[in-house]
Amino acid sequence: MIIAESIRVEVYKYNYAAHGYDLVTTLTESSIISAGGKRQCCADGTFEIGGVYAATFSMQAKIPGMTTFQVRGAKLRVRSKYGTESAWHNMGTFWVTDATRVGEIFSVNAQDSVGWLDTSSYNSTSESAVKAVGKVLADKWQNIGIGIDQWDENGTEYGGWLQYLTDCTNTFIQSQTGVKEMLHWKAYDKARRETYGRYCNDRIYAKVNGKWSQTIYPAKFYLSAENSNSDSDCPRDFYRYLAELAFGFVYARPEDGALELGQFGNGYHGSVSIGMSEIEYDSCEMADYEIHMLRTDARVELEDEKSAWAWVRHSSPDYSTSSFQRFLIESNPFLDGFAKDFVFSSGYGLNTIPHSMWLARYSSDTGNQYAVRPFSCTVHSTKRFQLGQKIKLSYRDFHETTAKSYDSIITAIEWTFRGGTKLSCGGEDSRVMADCIRSSKGDKVRKEARNRCRALEKRVQKLGG
């Protein structure tokens, strides 16, 4: 099935003198041979938290008046419009990473702004080079206890860690490329937070000196002098650290290319329903189980042999209908900072962290309950889709006589111009013995190596090394 669809791709080049982008040309379906892109918040075939993945876009097109060297590095603003739509729909803003030409036909590959989070921390070896992102955060904002994203206290709104991190990353990008204010952070406004609820650090119940009381979870960044690993991490890692504490993901918004914190099943994007008439024949695969959170663990081990474990666990898992995942948060500098200044000093319970993540996943107050059922299907419809959005699918397999309804969420969206949209949600069945054995062997080796390294490090410290 092919639905009438139009496309428009605006091509921009950066003006270093004016610190802005100049429009070079606008491409339409008359010059575009093929086009498509993919957005995702989890790795293919899995369900995870803390995902920070760049959306990709590719096309073959005639681009008049430009050479291959001019196309490489150009910014593309992609829009699509179905015949029933009155306005163009933004598919994303991308930067060309590779371009080749055969005759007058260009083959172009591009990534959105999340792609800049990988390269912006590459430094020269000179002493005057810009410091790595972890060192900048430690030097400038280490002792600030603030929210993960924008938050308010007594009616006053404050910027959060993700905004600070974006500003820091822009400094790196400019030092390496000369491009000013490449990234923009889109914080949740107060109205959205109050209407749809949000992630863990808004208002949660924290365990302080053995008693649960309502508070704000103030994240702090911590990088010990002995631990230089975070010095070499790229900005993407620090976005991931914050996103996993919020039980969400970071992505670039298709509408304007700004970075934003997303959460699974959040009501802001509403829900979407897909019927059998919209699903491409023989393209739908549906799991017979749902994925639930069995347990969330937070683990902290700092200097002076200070360590702590905490967890929240599902009370009565039903393995006959569901697969259960365990999420472990460790080696997270924002979790370490919280433990250093609150758990070990102020009497907070470390189980504040997994408890708050549990609320972000199963909050009864904000209506964020949702089913995570692995599925994959190709849809031919004029509907638009969002990452993390709730979806209800009506589907009948070959051996079934009537269609059934399935609830899930969208973790990957693969769009092809005039070819439909492939939607999916991944997640392995942990009840399968082969998967359990293969996973446990790898985990055992990694844990054993990590524990030996930690034991050796402590012995060296005791010897005065």
Three-state SS sequence of 264-327:
CCCHHHCEEEECHHHECCCCCEECCCEEEEEEEEEEEECCCCCEEEEEEECCCCCCCCEEEEEE
User: 156 vs 74, 419, 458, CA distance in Å?
Assistant: 40, 48, 44
Kindly tell me the burial class for residue 318, based on how many C-beta atoms sit within 10 Å of its own C-beta (0-12, 13-18, 19 or more).
exposed
CB 18 within 8 A of CB 181: no
CA–CA–CA angle 104, 105, 110 (5° rounding): 135
Q: What was the pLDDT predicted at 341?
A: 84
Residue 83: closest CA among 186, 162, 4:
4
Question: 21 Cβ partners below 8 Å, 6+ apart?
Answer: 12, 13, 14, 15, 75
Q: What was the pLDDT predicted at 326?
A: 87
Q: In what order do the strands lie in the sheet with 271-274?
A: 271-274, 390-395, 404-409
Residue 324: closest CA among 447, 199, 436:
436
How many other C-beta atoms lie within 10 A of the C-beta of residue 113? 25
pLDDT (tens digit, 0 to 9) for every residue of the chain, 465 residues total? 668 999 999 999 999 999 999 999 999 999 999 999 999 999 998 999 999 999 999 999 999 989 999 999 999 999 999 998 999 999 999 999 999 999 999 999 999 999 999 875 555 544 445 566 777 777 777 777 788 888 777 778 888 889 999 998 898 888 888 899 999 999 988 888 878 766 655 566 678 888 877 776 777 888 754 544 554 568 898 999 999 988 899 999 999 999 999 989 888 889 999 999 999 999 999 998 999 888 888 888 887 667 888 888 777 788 888 888 888 898 888 888 888 888 888 888 888 888 888 777 776 555 556 789 999 999 999 999 999 999 999 998 877 888 899 999 999 999 999 999 999 999 888 777 544 554 555 565 666 666 667 667 666 666 665
The CA-based dihedral angle spanning residues 429, 433, 437, 439, taken in that order and rounded to the nearest 10 degrees: 0
CB 121 within 8 A of CB 172: yes
Q: What was the pLDDT predicted at 199?
A: 63
Please report the sign of the dihedral spanned by the C-alpha atoms of residue 140, residue 242, residue 213, residue 153.
positive
Residue 329: closest CA among 118, 43, 49, 46:
49
In 371-396, which positions are buried (b, 16+ CB within 10 angstroms) versus exposed (e)?
bbbbbbbbbbbeebbbbbbbbebebe
Under the phi-then-psi rule, with left for phi > 0, alpha for psi from -120 to 50, and beta for the rest, what region is 170? alpha
Q: What was the pLDDT predicted at 225?
A: 47
DSSP single-letter state for residue 87: S
User: 196 vs 155, 189, 192, 352, 356, CA distance in Å?
Assistant: 18, 11, 6, 22, 16
Q: What was the pLDDT predicted at 371?
A: 87
Q: What was the pLDDT predicted at 128?
A: 46
Residue 251: closest CA among 441, 423, 413:
413
User: What are the φ and ψ backbone dihedral angles of 127, each rounded to 5 degrees?
Assistant: -65, -25
